[in-house]
Amino acid sequence: MPDMSDTAVRVPQSANVGPYDGTQTPPAVEVASSIKTEPEIGQLFDLSSGAVIITGGARGLGLTIAAAVVESGGDVYCCDILPSPSQQEWQALEAKAKKLGAVVAYRRLDVTDAAGVSDCFRAIAAQSRRPVRGFVSAAATQHEQEAIDYDMEAFSRVMRINVDGTMIPAQAAARLMRDSGLGGSIVLIASISGFITNRGLTCTAYNSSKAACHQMCRSVAVEWGKFGIRVNTISPGYIRTAMTNMLLADKPKLLERWEDDNPLRRIGMPSELKGPAVFLLSEAASFITGTDVRIDGGVSL
């Protein structure tokens, strides 16, 4: 049965509402509705009302998503442990931002330093011409070693950066969104490694850390929904990043294996994360939280 809670049928007071015998003219019926005008599709994906903070934003997927935010009208603040971002990519991003009237800025940041992250995010919020409405966690590291001999210091380092380094800035961003009263969207870059094992790789710590990100997302999505904050993950498959290129340089046969295993017979490109990231950050995903978007060409099926 349709929901009629927002719609009322009203008969004008001047109308004859007595028994209808088929000879008189039926009364005009007015339909009064409180249903709001639906936004157009371009408005749904528009990010011009806020700023987005991205950790792991010096290169790779983080910088690719930064470009997508700028192209969608948003301001971007990229943070990373590196002293400076990839020069060529950053110059291209700055040129794009200037052309579109957006703001881009870079700050050096250790995502495992809770006090430093909190101070950095508060400073960004104070500096920004727009409220912080989005956060993307793209900082991560990897260490490959056979599990039976896996060095526990290396294991702890991967977990510290990939898990603590996701939760700490997510908390800081959520506090900004809560305190502003505007809510927002948080996107955690996880991985298909969180629910499958990587073919041809021995990376137990990385896989474990990404599984933790998936459950972290679901947990905080339930807790932070009351503040108007949505939290989702993106799980890339094998993507042609600079890090992937370095890996394939040492193991060239892996590429053929990954392509053969994939229903689309190829690995992904960084640009293929731009659309899903903007979607989750935008009002187009206003009723989506606690879920995962896989961008893997179907390899995890």
Residues annotated as catalytic are: 206, 210
Q: Rounded to 5 degrees, what angle do the CA atoms 156, 162, 165 make?
A: 100
Kindly state the tokens that stand for 216.
Answer: 């972290």
Rounded-to-integer distance, Cα 74 and Cα 179, Å: 20
β-bridge partners, 232: 187
Instruction: Pick the closest to residue 188 from 153, 152, 228, 216 (CA basis).
Output: 216
Quote the CA–CA distance of 224 and 290 in Å, as a whole number: 10
Q: Which token pair is 42?
A: 């371009």
Name the phi and psi angles at 80, rounded to 5: -165, 160
DSSP state of 1: -
Strands (E), the chain: 7-10, 30-33, 51-55, 75-80, 104-108, 132-137, 184-189, 229-236, 292-295
The answer to whether the beta carbons of residues 107 and 79 sit under 8 Å apart is: yes
Cα 140 to its chain centre, rounded Å, is 15
263-267: list long-range contacts, CB under 8 Å, 24+ apart. Answer: 263/297, 263/298, 263/299, 263/301, 264/297, 264/298, 266/297, 267/237, 267/238, 267/239, 267/240, 267/297
